[in-house]
């Protein structure tokens, strides 16, 4: 059971937009920055978003992040088949004094 809650799966057609939610509490998302990771099949996770809405170098602006209260959202526009992956949210949990992840969301581009 993960500390952060994500939907197990989402899907959308190529070219469309999709959002992935990440729900937590005041001890984690509510008072800490959120990061997102993309894990393509058979590869290691890769940092996709940090400090809620900042993209590392090389990440296209089709990817966006936001946070409100104790929830965060990853948005992907102009979906491509290459975006099919598992997406994980992460943050710091002040009560646990450590980082925590969501259970992951599998994105299918139909």
Partner 1 sequence: QVQLQESGPGLVKPSQTLSLTCTVSGYSISSGSYYWSWIRQPAGKGLELIGRLYTSGSTNYNPSLQSRVIISVDMSRNQFSLTLSSVTAADTAVYYCARMTTVVTHYFDYWGQGALVTVSS
Which of these segments, 10-18, 46-54, 62-70, 76-84, binds partner 1 (CB under 8 A)?
Answer: 46-54
Phi, psi of 43 (to 5 degrees): -125, 170
Write down the residue that tokens 């920055």 correspond to: 33
Residue ranges in 1-20 that form contacts with partner 1 under rule CB under 8 A:
2
Q: What tokens does 22 get?
A: 């990440």
Q: What tokens does 21 get?
A: 């939610």
Q: State yes or no: residue 45 binds partner 1 (CB under 8 A).
A: yes
Calculate the alpha carbon distances from 58 to 18, 49, 61, 79, 92 in Å.
20, 11, 9, 17, 25
Q: State yes or no: residue 40 binds partner 1 (CB under 8 A).
A: no
Q: What tokens does 59 get?
A: 């990440």
Q: State yes or no: residue 63 binds partner 1 (CB under 8 A).
A: no
Which of these segments, 14-22, 63-71, 77-85, 97-105, binds partner 1 (CB under 8 A)?
Answer: 97-105
Q: State yes or no: residue 65 binds partner 1 (CB under 8 A).
A: no
Least Å from the CB of residue 107 to partner 1: 15
Q: Is the separation of the CB atoms in 103 and 5 below 8 Å? A: yes
Q: Applying CB under 8 A, which residues contact partner 1?
A: 2, 32-33, 35, 37, 43-47, 50-51, 56, 88, 90-92, 97-104
């Amino acid at each position: 059971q993960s500390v952060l809650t994500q939907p197990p799966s989402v899907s959308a057609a190529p070219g469309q937009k999709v959002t992935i939610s990440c729900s937590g509490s005041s001890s984690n998302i509510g008072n800490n920055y959120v990061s997102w990771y993309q894990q393509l099949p058979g590869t290691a996770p890769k940092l996709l978003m940090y400090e809620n809405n900042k993209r590392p170098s090389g990440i296209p602006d089709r990817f966006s992040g936001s946070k409100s209260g104790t929830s965060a959202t990853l948005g992907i526009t102009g979906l491509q088949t290459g975006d099919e992956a598992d997406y994980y949210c992460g943050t710091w949990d002040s009560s646990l004094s450590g980082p925590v992840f969501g259970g992951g969301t599998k994105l299918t581009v139909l």
